[in-house]
Amino acid sequence: MNKKIILVGCGGLAREFLGYFEFEKENGNLKGFEIKGFIDDDIDKAQKSSKAMNLRYLGDIDSYSIDKNEYFWIAIGTNPSRKDIYTKLSQKDKNKFFGFVSSLAYISKSSKVDKSVTIAPFCIVNSGASIDENCIINSYAAIGHDSQLGANSILSPYAAINGSCKIESELFMGTRATIFPGIKVGRNCTVTSHSYVKTDKLDDRFIHQKTTEIDLKKI
């Protein structure tokens, strides 16, 4: 009997996850798994997404009762929503989460990746790195050697955590954000797209580098 995956969420990230899954199936991977449908609390959005994704809408998150052979795959790319939903679903069953690692990603044999983590194509998780529960490592993101990434964190495409960093839970990194080697970052921090972190940060920090716009007509 196939193990059935329940997508949680129906936005753009859910469609990305669905594409990753279908790619693996087409290439002979993930045998014994199938996607049953999705759950979401926004009924109007869900009904529209059901047609776009060609997936069954199974109801809202609170009401869904998971069966023995089913597993949740959380496709929510923002916090605190991602953390809150993971916590809520963990109360149903802590062992009922699907972890995905693309066959196109490089994961060092000496790294430690929690079974609930999603790692998209072309990511790199290097030697001695560790990733805690319920994280998303999106396409082309990289985690350097011996770095630790805390739970419920989200790395956008091309985000980079260099070696020997210690990152607490609920980090959000925008596209092409960078954390320099050896840096410590507290919980619930955001690093916006194209911004960088080169000094240690406490909890609850929003890191953003200003951009400069020049009117070429005035030069």
**Superfamily in which the 100-205 domain is placed by CATH:** Hexapeptide repeat proteins (2.160.10.10)
Helix, strand, coil percentages, rounded to 5, for the chain: 20, 25, 55
For the chain, what is the mean pLDDT?
Answer: 95
Question: What is residue 2's predicted lDDT score, i.e. its pLDDT?
Answer: 87
Query: Nearest 5°: phi and psi at 127?
Result: -55, 130
CA proximity to 116, closest of 97, 93, 90: 97
Q: Where are the domains of the chain?
A: 3-90, 100-205
> What CA–CA distance (Å, rounded) separates 143 from 129?
7
What is the C-alpha separation between 17 and 22, in angstroms, rounded? 9
CATH topology of domain 3-90: Rossmann fold (3.40.50)
pLDDT at 102: 98
What strand order describes the sheet that includes 184-185?
112-113, 130-131, 148-149, 166-167, 184-185
Burial class (CB in 10 A: 0-12, 13-18, 19+), 23: middle
- Segments of the chain scoring below 70 in pLDDT: none
User: How far is C-alpha 131 from the chain's CA centre?
Assistant: 11
Of the chain, the percentage scoring pLDDT greater than 70 comes to: 100
Residue 138: predicted pLDDT? 98
